[in-house]
């Protein structure tokens, strides 16, 4: 008579002997099994489309025949000969730098304020929560809301008129002089919470002993800020600035919804150019070429930044 | 603790205490003005929207615009689509993403550093670069104007983020936990489900919230991959107003409030996790 134990052993042995090869393979390479779905998805929906864009950018695409013939760098040459394209590049840099400047200034200022040790923690938490709200809004919702504020009979024009800054209502989104500034404001409004939160957490990681030591040495508030705080948070500031620049550079939604390139071409940025070129004007091949140019620009910017960060000694501690 | 130390450092003074608070309140008022204005305009009677001087608070509160919204099935369809799309994107990103993160975190995978770097670079890629290929690919597969296409397109940017965030989070959880569970006879998967997941819950919530917000607010892919209101999220409905001839400002403010309300509630409930999600996005 087999005891319970012996029966169990026999069952396990039988099970192991009949474990299919597949099961054992999966078990031994379990890590790869786990990452497989994600990798497959990313290869299919990120890598492949990207390679497809590359291929399109060096081809001539005829929609009716769905044919792609290799034409080398013709599309790129065509792009650089388009004066609109060059204006677009300039606009995009203005837009990105403007958004970065405003949102960084706001974010930094708010982070410093929220880091004050004199305020109660509840007050700081609630304030921080409220100040993060703009980040939650979609570009569409922000566009709609700000359009109301920018309305000729809206709030901002009321201030402008009563304060005498303007004599007639300013068409913020239709006036070539104001359009770029207006969209920069809207995007900065959406963007500053991210910078604020990142800088705040970086500020909070500065050890208090440094401030104590500075006080003992009789440092003034300004001294403390420029000599202690700023160098310590500089890496984070640089990193998030880079991220913000890239994000504003590639941002499509707001321009499309609010100004569609602006009066004339004043607010046309790179992504919108790609969209228009691909779907309205010149075709997918030129549009893809424009995307590739944009990608290469951002890539080189990131490489330059990474090089500066590691070798150039912008990281904390290497610059003293 | 901190208070006594600060007392020893600087003298408590009016400027140090009241000034920052005053500035913060001023900033809150100014920066949240669009939010307040949006909500208040949606409950104002139409004649009060453009008064001179502009009045913030309505004299009469009317919910007629919301009644109109809820009765029109068109806008409700947009709203429901948003829930569906964002829900699926969150679910898919979290499941596939956290499994992958677990794999990267606990197993030796050849080329893992390269793969993770690749996902990082992917996040820096502007989504516009994927616009043209997605349009062509989804058309070719026959998935144009379906939920599937939009969901998959949104996952392209939420998934890398979830993987990154969950991997760094899981790295902080000691492997002893699941090893203990496996010694007690659980399989890897069961250990993952019963032991790791509960501990990693905050990270999951943060990543999930980020994915949900990203998918809910997404406009570009939804615009290019859909036509009409059948499968389009609510961002499309909002953007439509700009091309309409008649603009009912209170109506669109109501729609905008409706579109933003779920996210605001989500944020109020999960603030700390959402912020953690934000910060994890830039931690390298």
B238-266 pLDDT, tens digit each:
988 777 766 788 888 999 999 999 999 99
Q: Classify the C-alpha dihedral B251-B253-B258-B259 as positive or negative.
A: positive
Q: Which residue's structure tokens are 């204006």? A: A87
With beta carbons under 8 A apart, name residues in chain A contacting B282. 198, 239-240, 243
State the alpha helices, DSSP H only, in chain A: 4-17, 21-28, 30-42, 48-57, 74-80, 83-114, 121-132, 139-149, 155-162, 179-204, 208-216, 221-223, 230-249, 253-254, 270-276, 284-310
pLDDT higher than threshold 70 for residue B284: no
CA distance A269 to chain B (A): 12
- Contact (CB<8Å) A149/B109: no
- How many Å lie between the alpha carbon of B274 and the closest alpha carbon of chain A? 10
Residue A313 has a pLDDT of: 52
Q: What is the dihedral of CA A12, A17, A21, A27, to 10 degrees?
A: 30
Answer yes or no: do B9 and A212 touch at CB < 8 A.
Answer: yes
C-alpha dihedral sign at A121, A123, A126, A130? negative
Question: For residue A294, which residues of chain B lie inside 8 Å, CB to CB?
Answer: 126, 128-129
Q: A252, B220: Cβ pair inside 8 Å?
A: yes
d(CA A95, CA A76) in angstroms, rounded, equals 23
pLDDT tens-digit series, residues B69-84: 888 888 889 999 999 9
- List the single best residue of A29, A38, A292 to mutate versus B (max B Cβ within 10 A): A38
Q: Which residue in this structure is represented by tokens 């499968």? A: B231
- Across the interface, do A38 and B127 touch by the CB < 8 Å criterion? no
**Whole-angstrom distance, CA of residue A224 vs CA of residue A242:** 26
What is the model's pLDDT at position A11? 61
| CA–CA gap between residue A85 and residue A294 (Å, rounded) | 11
Residue found under tokens 């309305």:
A151
Q: How far apart are CA B231 and CA B245, in angstroms?
A: 24
Query: Could you tell me which of A258, A265, A240, A278 has the C-alpha nearest to residue A148?
Result: A258
B220 contacts on A by Cβ (under 8 Å): 252-253, 256
Q: Please, which residues have CB within 8 angstroms of residue A158's CB and are 6 or more apart in sequence?
A: B52, B53, B54
- Is A116 within 8 Å of chain B by CB? yes
Alpha carbon distance A60, A62 (integer Å): 7
pTM attached to this predicted model: 0.86
Tell whether A95 is within 8 A of chain B (Cβ).
Answer: no
Distance from CA of A21 to the nearest CA of B (A): 18
Set of chain A residues whose Cβ sits within 8 Å of the Cβ of B263: 136-137
The residue of B126, B141, B175, B248 whose CB has the most chain A CBs within 10 angstroms, and thus the best one to mutate to test that interface, is: B126
In this complex, the residue of A118, A197, A291 whose CB is nearest that of residue B278 is A197
Backbone angles phi, psi at B27, to 5 degrees: -60, -40
Rounded to 5°, the CA angle B51-B56-B61 comes to: 90
pLDDT in tens, B179-224: 888 787 777 777 777 777 788 888 889 899 999 999 999 999 999 9
**What average pLDDT values come out for chain A (320 residues) when binned by 10 residues?**
66 59 73 87 90 87 74 84 90 95 94 83 88 92 91 84 80 87 95 93 85 79 79 87 92 91 87 90 84 90 80 48
């Amino acid at each position: 008579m087999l005891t319970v134990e012996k029966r169990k052993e026999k069952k396990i042995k039988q099970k192991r002997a009949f474990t299919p090869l597949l099961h054992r393979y999966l078990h031994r390479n379990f890590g790869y099994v786990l990452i497989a779905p994600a990798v497959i998805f990313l290869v299919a929906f990120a890598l492949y489309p990207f390679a497809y864009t590359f291929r399109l950018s060096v081809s001539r695409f005829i929609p009716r025949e769905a044919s792609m013939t290799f034409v080398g760098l013709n599309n790129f040459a065509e792009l650089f000969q388009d004066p609109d394209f060059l204006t677009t590049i300039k606009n995009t840099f203005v837009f990105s730098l403007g958004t970065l400047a405003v949102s960084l200034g706001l974010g930094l200022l708010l982070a410093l304020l929220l880091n004050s040790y004199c305020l109660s923690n509840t007050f700081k938490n609630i304030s921080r929560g409220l100040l993060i709200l703009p980040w939650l809004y979609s570009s569409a919702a922000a566009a709609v809301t700000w359009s109301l504020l920018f309305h000729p009979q809206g709030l901002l024009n009321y201030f402008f008129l009563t304060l005498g800054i303007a004599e007639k209502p300013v068409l913020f989104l239709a006036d070539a002089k104001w359009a770029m500034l207006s969209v920069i404001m809207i995007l900065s409004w959406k963007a500053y919470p991210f910078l604020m939160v990142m800088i705040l957490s970086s500020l909070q990681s500065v050890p208090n002993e440094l401030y104590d030591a500075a006080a003992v040495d009789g440092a003034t508030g300004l001294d403390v800020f420029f000599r202690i705080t700023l160098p310590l948070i500089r890496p984070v500031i640089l990193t998030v600035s880079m991220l913000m620049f890239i994000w504003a550079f590639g941002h499509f939604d707001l321009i499309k919804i609010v100004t569609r390139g602006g009066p004339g071409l004043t607010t046309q940025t790179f992504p919108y150019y790609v969209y228009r070129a691909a779907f309205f004007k010149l075709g997918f091949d030129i549009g893809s070429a424009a995307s590739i140019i944009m990608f290469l620009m951002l890539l080189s910017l990131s490489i330059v930044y990474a090089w500066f960060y590691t070798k150039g000694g912008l990281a904390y501690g290497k610059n003293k | 603790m901190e208070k006594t130390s600060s007392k020893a450092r600087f003298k408590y003074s009016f400027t140090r205490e009241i000034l920052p608070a005053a500035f913060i309140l001023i900033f809150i008022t100014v920066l949240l003005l669009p939010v307040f204005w949006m909500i208040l305009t949606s409950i104002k009677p139409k004649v009060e929207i453009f008064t001179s001087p502009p009045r913030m608070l309505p004299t009469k509160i009317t919910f007629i615009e919301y009644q109109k919204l809820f009765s029109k099935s068109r806008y409700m369809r947009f709203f429901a689509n948003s829930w569906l799309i964002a829900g699926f994107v969150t679910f898919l990103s979290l499941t596939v993403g956290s499994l992958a993160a677990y794999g990267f975190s606990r197993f030796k995978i050849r080329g893992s550093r390269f793969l993770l770097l690749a996902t990082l670079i992917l996040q820096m890629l502007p989504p516009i670069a994927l616009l043209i290929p997605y349009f062509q690919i989804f058309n070719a597969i026959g998935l144009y104007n379906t939920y599937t296409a939009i969901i998959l397109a949104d996952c392209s940017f939420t998934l890398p983020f979830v993987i990154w965030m969950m991997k760094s989070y899981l790295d902080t959880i000691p492997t002893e936990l699941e090893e203990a569970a496996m010694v007690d006879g659980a399989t890897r998967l069961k250990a993952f489900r019963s032991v790791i997941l509960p501990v990693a819950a905050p990270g999951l919530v943060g990543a999930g919230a980020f994915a949900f917000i990203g998918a809910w607010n997404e406009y570009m892919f939804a615009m290019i991959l859909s036509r009409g209101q059948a499968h389009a999220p609510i961002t499309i409905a909002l953007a439509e107003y700009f091309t309409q001839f008649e603009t009912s400002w209170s109506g669109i403010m109501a729609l905008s409030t409706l579109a933003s309300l779920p996210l605001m509630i989500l944020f109020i409930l999960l603030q700390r996790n959402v912020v953690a999600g934000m910060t994890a996005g830039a931690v390298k």
